[in-house]
Structure 1
Amino acid sequence: MKKLCYIVFSISILASGQETNPVIFEEHFNGTQLNESYWNYELGDGCPKLCGWGNNERQLYTKENVTVNNGFLTITATKNDAKYQSGRITTKRKVEFQYGTIEVRAKLPIGKGLWPAIWMLGNDIDTNTWPACGEIDIMEYVGKKPHEIHTTLHTPDSFGNSKNTKITTNKDIEQGFHNYKTSWSKDSISFYIDDQLVYTFSPEIKNERTWPFNKPFYIILNMAIGGNFGGPEVDDSIFPKEFIIDYVKVYKE
């Protein structure tokens, strides 16, 4: 059965007649290429403005390292000679939302130096630069620390430090697919792994320094190599490695 990929702006109705939250974006990666109505490729090494993507990462992002096939998005990390390559896509200016629930089903790669992530940035980043724009890290995994999932909020108040964070240990997280979900309202942001609540962020005082989350955000899927968080050591014997995403769903609050 083929998967469907669409944006919906109406309320879903269960067979019983009970209403559920509206689905505002749903992507199952049908076809054989990335749907650029929803997604953008981010390419290169971040230079000249943000070399190493601001984290001393080693990879060059390319279109070729992002593939769509059999209902899955695959971001592949490779090494050819001295060059590392990988993929990064975003929904910037195409699919942005304020409040709601985002759910992503994904399978992690294994190996020292890999840094796959599911995350979001405020859509005003071009004029309100990081961390003032805000960052919501739904899932970060670094191969040097097996079995650990990081969920983090970056704000001006926590500049350069991951103090609004939770590390969840799951010995089976590298096995098969798992669901990563974040529910975001005007009052709090909660993170779930396989529908289990792992962390809630809700500062008592909400202002521009502690809560830059009162505006639309966009989605980012990528796999970095090395860098301040993923590195510094990279095991060159592991490549190629795949970060596989089954679907992305966004529900209105």
Structure 2
Amino acid sequence: MNTLRILCVLFLITLTVQSQELIFEEHFNGDALDATVWNYELGDGCPNLCGWGNNERQIYTQDNVKIQNGYLVITAAYDGATYTSGKINTKDNIEFQYGTVEVRAKLAVGKGIWPAIWMLGSNISEVGWPRSGEIDIMEYVGKHPHEIHTTLHTPDSHGQSINTKITTSENIEEGFHLYKAHWTKDFIKFYIDDALVYTFSPEVKDENTWPFDHPYYLILNLAIGGNFGGPEVDDTIFPQQFLIDYVKIYK
């Protein structure tokens, strides 16, 4: 019965995706990032958002983001004095309201490491955070092995948001895994390797509990330390690589 139930769930997921239109697909097969799609976020966030708002230690550079062997490779490094890493987004290029996002990725690991796949409301420059809303499809913090965090940040609950789920998977650090969010006007469902792990659908949907009725853009990054990833960082783990095989967006 359990096997049959799992097969039925997978079948329904497949039907849902097949009924949607593929609006963006990136397999990182070239020699460099497509500048018409991806933007680099650079520096340490200063002066407006030092430590990227989380007391993170890394400086983001373009050199820490590469295309190699058909993968996007974001490398976190430490030279004995400075931590560097990479962060890219699709702001102003690929933005969408409702749909399904799939990212196949292999985690960077180690104490202090914080890879993430997430989205921000495209109106963030106008309304600020958290009014823009934030959808965290996948966050992994190396100080807590085998755990994937899935979280929503809203005006009603942000920072240490109550809208969160921790999923434990003993082999999540091994090889590539599929991280997915299915977003509609009624709910946001999150999957790891096509298994449903969290559904967010508040009974009352207003600007405080549901800032998810406008376009969002995608972010891929590898942070170091910070309020969530740290505060302790094991300097012996570097370099660490966050590998992304592909990104697909359906509507």
- Which TM-score bucket, shorter chain as reference? over 0.9
Matched, 1:196 2:195: yes
Instruction: Please tell me the root mean square deviation across aligned C-alpha atoms, in Å.
Output: 0.7
**What displacement does 1:227 show?**
0.1
SS in 1 for 2:203: coil
**Gapped regions of structure 2 (runs ≥ 5):** 1-17
Deviation per CA, 1:148-175: give whole Å up to 9, x if none: 0000000000033220000000000000
**What displacement does 1:197 show?**
0.2
How many residues in Structure 1 have an aligned counterpart in Structure 2? 234
CA distance in 1, matches of 2:226, 2:108: 17
CA distance in 2, matches of 1:131, 1:233: 27
Residue type at the aligned position of 1:237: T
1:94 is matched with 93
Q: Which protein has the bigger helix share? A: 2
Distance 1:160 1:110 in 2: 23
1:225 maps to 2:235: no
What's the TM-score once normalised by structure 2's chain length? 0.92
| Aligned-partner residue type, residue 92 of structure 2 | R
The residue type equivalent to 1:173 in the other structure is I
Deviations for 1:87-115, whole angstroms, at most 9, x for unmatched residues? 00000000000000000000001100000
Q: How far has the Cα of 1:32 moved from its partner?
A: 1.1
Secondary structure of the 2:228 match is helix
- Matching residue of 2:155: 156
Distance 1:81 1:148 in 2: 29
Q: How many Å separate the matches in 2 of 1:161 and 1:226?
A: 16
- 1:42 is matched with 41
Q: Distance in 2 between matches of 1:40 and 1:160?
A: 25
Whether 2:138 is the aligned partner of 1:139: answer yes
Please list the CA deviations of residues 122-145 of structure 1 after superposition, one character each: whole Å capped at 9, or x if unmatched: 000001111000000000000000
- For residue 35 of structure 1, give the secondary structure of its aligned residue in structure 2: coil
* Sequence identity percentage: 70
Measure, in 2, the Cα distance between the counterparts of 1:68 and 1:28: 10
| Cα distance between partner residues in 2 of 1:79 and 1:159 | 30
Equivalent-residue separation in structure 1 for 2:184 and 2:30 (angstroms): 33
Runs of 4+ aligned structure 1 residues displaced above 6 Å come to: none
Partner of residue 33, structure 1: 32
- Can you list the C-alpha shifts for 1:154-213, whole angstroms capped at 9, x where unaligned? 000003322000000000000000000000000000000000000000000000000000
- Please give the secondary structure, in 2, of the residue aligned with 1:105: strand
- Alpha-carbon deviation of 1:30? 1.2
The residue that corresponds to 1:115 in the other structure is 114
Is 2:20 the counterpart of 1:21?
yes
Q: Deviations over 1:70-100 (max 9, x none)?
A: 2100000000121000000000000000000
Q: Distance in 2 between matches of 1:106 and 1:38?
A: 19
Aligned twin of 2:81: 82
Partner Cα separation in structure 1 for residue 71 and residue 189 of structure 2: 26
Q: What's the counterpart of residue 104 of structure 2?
A: 105
Corresponding residue SS for 1:248: strand
C-alpha distance in 2 between matches for 1:121 and 1:20: 25
Partner of 2:179: 180
Which whole-Å CA distance do the structure 1 matches of 2:193 and 2:233 have between them? 29
